[in-house]
Amino acid sequence: MERRGNYGYDAPYALVAFAAVGTASLAVSLVSWWNDSGRPAAMFAFYAVFFLANAASFFHTTTRGKFLVWEEILDGLRLRGDEQVLDMGCGRGAVLTAVARRLRAGRAAGVDLWSKLDQSGNSSEVTLRNASLEGVGDRIEIHTGDMRALPFPEGAFDLVVSSLAIHNISSNADRAKAIAEAFRVLKPGGRLAIADIRATAVYARTLLGLGATRIARRGLGWRFWYGNPFAGTTLVTASKPEATRGTGPARFLGGAA
């Protein structure tokens, strides 16, 4: 699928740091080699390869890999096209617009705090512009809010997605709060698909404690590494049982079919 929007870079300072350390190591290695210092030259050549390879992997993931992997995740969800979907920590809309393209009759909401440390050039205006460039401006809505206290009623969504967002919350207790919020706003029978680089075991445990079913975790492969396998992304999927006490369906998004 051709992308028309501009989605920036995830954690831009990490990408710049990898590239800067790699380039500096390369320079030191070349100078050492020029001065006939064999050992430092080899050591800095190793650092250069390591950090530049990390930068290349990170760059590929944030500009291409994550989009390809999310297309596959969304394909696997086999949406009907009339769902109400929430993207928690939607940023500039990479996943929000991808899911909205599949919603001929449904709608997608994005919620975010617009941190420019977590994504370059992050803002609600950019996300709205991307949605309109992708031809889905009429199927999305944007909310400014914290995913630990979602501004939506219980049982509002058929599907909650999130990509690389929840780990930005600093404690596991608060990450668990975000997961509990995602589960609260799901309709009975609704589904969750959360991709992240850290704490996914905490997400799975929290979902188990909340009574979620069909909880699964799986690695998303090299296309979703932020530099190396230790910063690889894992997908957590789960469902909300049909008959969870106290969760009646609620309509929230306007304009749904």
Nearest approach, Cβ of residue 163 and ligand SAM (Å): 4
Reduced to 3 states, what is the DSSP secondary structure of residue 24?
helix
Shortest reach from residue 123's CB to ligand SAM, in Å: 9
Q: Position 208: which residue type?
A: L
**Which is nearer to ligand SAM, 211 or 221 (by Cβ)?**
221
* CB closer to ligand SAM out of 44 and 58: 58
Instruction: Answer for the pair 52, 29: CB distance below 8 angstroms, yes or no.
Output: no
| Closer residue to ligand SAM, CB minimum distance, 48 or 169 | 169
CB of 79 to ligand SAM, least distance (A): 18
- State the amino acid at position 144 in one-letter form: T
Token pair, residue 75, equals: 């394909």
| Residue 48 vs 182, nearer CB to ligand SAM | 182
**Considering beta carbons, is residue 90 or 192 the nearer one to ligand SAM?**
90
Best CA proximity match to 54, nearest among 226, 252, 182, 223:
226
To ligand SAM, the closest distance from the beta carbon of 190 in angstroms equals 19
Give the footprint of ligand SAM on this chain (CB under 6 A): 7, 10-11, 89-91, 94-95, 111-115, 118-119, 122, 146-148, 163-165, 168-169
Return all residues near 182 (Cβ < 8 A) that are at least 6 apart: 86, 88, 147, 150, 160, 162, 192, 194
Distances (CA, A) of 127 to 142, 221, 243, 257: 8, 27, 35, 23
Pairwise CA distance, residues 38 & 3, whole Å = 47
Q: What's the closest the beta carbon of residue 254 comes to ligand SAM, in angstroms?
A: 21
